[in-house]
Structure 1
Amino acid sequence: MLDFVIKRVIQVGIVVLLALTVVFFLIRLSGDPTPLFLPPDAPREQIDEYRSKLGFDRPLLVQYGEFMKNAVQGDFGNSLRSKEDALGMVLQRLPATFQLAISALVLSLLISIPLGVLSAFKRNSIFDRIAVALTVIGQAIPSFWFGLLLIFIFAAQLKVLPSGGGGSIVHMILPTLTLAAYSIARFTRFTRSTMLDVLRKDFIRTAKASGVPTPRLIARYALKNSLIPIITLVALDLGTLLGGAVITEVVFSWPGIGRLLLQSLLNRDFPIVLAGVFIIALIYAVINFVADLLYAFVNPQIRVR
């Protein structure tokens, strides 16, 4: 078991390292950010001096080596614009992103599991066909378009909900619905598929023939045996929700990591971008790591892979 854990820890480190490396070189392709932080009429000598102060005049590989040396110590430098600690700024926004992602996950489960169970139990009925159609639409609609649609309906037309911002539960409603839409569709289809497999099992037929009431048959026998793969998908989907929150936060001006990253990209504030990518990659990798440990605990055969 110890060897398995060590291998997974090494894999987490490699994933985070690769994510930082790719983003480091990609953002450097956007050009030199130095002129953005100086007056438009700044002389060439001042620009060169400021570029040298930031270290952007050195070869790219040298910059990369210096960055990685500091990054492994948790030092991503200071924001080029505000001069604040980049990692600290990202960590300040992390609770808001977690709040949105977890709210979306809870909402997804509350809607998708009952919907998937009923859809499977009423297979080929009108209810099932409508549910399947809605899940297809839910997975096909871009989240930013759906968010704008919700703003148009509930904020611009009905004027019952705010169009953006943060600070209260009311402000969370629209961004939570937007972020949860894809997960609701995905979880519903997965729950339906898993339930259909369980409903075909012999023990379900036996329980039904024995006169077990339908609610008990679903809750105690069918759903209980369908939860393991569902829980697995939910654990992995939390990382996806954290990453997908970027677009939703921008649409609704939610004060999370996603909005901060976009603003930093537009401003070419490289330290904040890299610190944000580090946090998101680390969270996603740790979630997968925990899922792997749970798999190994449940099924010891996985440890030898």
Structure 2
Amino acid sequence: MIAYGARRLAIALVVAWLALTLAFVALRWVPGDAVDATLGRAGLEDAELDARRDELGFNDPVWRQYLVYLGGLVRGDWGESLVSGQPVRDILAQNLGPTAVLAISALIVAAALGLALGVVASLARARMVRAGAQAVISLALSTPVYWTATLAIFLFSAQWGLLPGPGGRGLRYLVLPMCVLGFHTAGSIAQVTASSVREAAGRAFVRTARAKGLPPVPDVVEHILRVGLLPVIAVVALQLGFLLSGTVITEMIFVRRGLGRVLLQAVNNRDYPVIQGVVVLSAVVYSLANALADVLSALADPRVTGGEG
């Protein structure tokens, strides 16, 4: 198991490095840079812009810029914002907390709602109940976040006054974005849960247990769910990585601090170091979450390791 976990961790780090490399190269291919986005708009002469690019190293070959950046990462230097001059590590540290709180809270909502919807959609005896659960799953998967968020603000804040609107801090201001983001994330969890539980319910050992007269409730809880929910572990872990890196729309609509807003502002300003910092952090979290999911799945079902020690 230790060897399996180490191998998964190594794969996660390689994936993070590939994501960083792709982002680095893609940013250099996109027309324009932070100098154009900031100083260029101020009407400076081309010679002054070129001098600033030389100072920042933008005129160096891409491979040299890449090696310099990798060397900085190894030393713990993530660079500085080209707009504010603030260290990227400080920017990420200041905004990671609000995003992590939102992501983890939304994941709790998503896991509870997704598991419940998936089990009901696959095992409920009443056909109407199964159809209703499936309709909610389809709604969560198909509707865009901005539409649900706008509707939630209109109903729960503007119309009914049950919850505060965007722009504040505290637990009460977390409820709406948490529930909106959790609802959309629950769709994929519920879909995998329903499919996996339905497949487990049709296996031979379940039919044998039923033939022996096992009561319905222990049949479901101890046999079907124990096997059917194993694939859900990976999905939940992957959703955590997605939530940490995909909260841009939610944070903008609800006017919340976080990595999503930082990333959007950095993209608008062509602020390479900040964009790369967010990409590296997101890739590491996503890859580690995936590796953790694989290890947890292997602990729950040793057959996953394929016989590795």
TM, length-normalised to structure 2: 0.86
Match of 1:139 in 2: 141
Q: Is residue 245–residue 258 contact of structure 1 (8 Å, CA) maintained in 2?
A: yes
Counterparts of 1:1-305 in structure 2, within 5 Å, are 4-28=4-28, 29-38=30-39, 40-123=42-125, 125-201=127-203, 204-205=206-207, 214-297=216-299, 298-299=302-303, 301-302=305-306
Unaligned runs of 5+ in 2: none
Aligned residues: 305
Q: Is residue 105–residue 180 contact of structure 1 (8 Å, CA) maintained in 2?
A: yes
Q: Give, in angstroms, the shift of residue 40 of structure 1.
A: 1.6
Q: Give, in angstroms, the shift of residue 285 of structure 1.
A: 0.9
Following TM superposition, the consecutive aligned residue runs of length 4 or more in structure 1 with deviations greater than 6 angstroms are none
Q: What is the identity, as a one-letter code, of the residue corresponding to 1:23?
A: A
In 1: Cα distance, 2:12 partner to 2:142 partner: 31
In 2: Cα distance, 1:303 partner to 1:13 partner: 23
Q: Give, in angstroms, the shift of residue 152 of structure 1.
A: 2.9
Unaligned runs of 5+ in 1: none
Range with greater deviation from structure 2 (253-262 or 185-194): 185-194
Q: Is residue 100–residue 175 contact of structure 1 (8 Å, CA) maintained in 2?
A: yes
| Aligned CA-pair RMSD | 2.7
Q: Give, in angstroms, the shift of residue 106 of structure 1.
A: 0.9
Q: Is residue 87–residue 276 contact of structure 1 (8 Å, CA) maintained in 2?
A: no
The SS at the match of 1:167 is: coil
Q: Is residue 179–residue 244 contact of structure 1 (8 Å, CA) maintained in 2?
A: no
Quote the sequence identity (%). Answer: 33
Q: Give, in angstroms, the shift of residue 202 of structure 1.
A: 5.1
Q: Give, in angstroms, the shift of residue 281 of structure 1.
A: 0.2
In 2: Cα distance, 1:51 partner to 1:134 partner: 52
Output one character per residue of 1:186-217: Cα deviation in whole Å (capped at 9) or x when no partner.
Answer: 22222222332333345545655666554444
Distance change in 2, residues 1:171/1:77 (3 Å): same
Distance change in 2, residues 1:165/1:13 (3 Å): same
Q: Is residue 116–residue 191 contact of structure 1 (8 Å, CA) maintained in 2?
A: yes
Output one character per residue of 1:118-143: Cα deviation in whole Å (capped at 9) or x when no partner.
Answer: 33222561111121122112111122
Output one character per residue of 1:19-60: Cα deviation in whole Å (capped at 9) or x when no partner.
Answer: 112212222314132144437243444333322222223233
Q: Give, in angstroms, the shift of residue 279 of structure 1.
A: 0.4
The SS at the match of 1:138 is: helix
Range with greater deviation from structure 2 (230-239 or 79-88): 230-239
TM, length-normalised to structure 1: 0.87
Q: Is residue 19–residue 278 contact of structure 1 (8 Å, CA) maintained in 2?
A: yes
Q: Is residue 139–residue 182 contact of structure 1 (8 Å, CA) maintained in 2?
A: yes
Output one character per residue of 1:153-203: Cα deviation in whole Å (capped at 9) or x when no partner.
Answer: 333433433332352112112211221122222222222223323333455
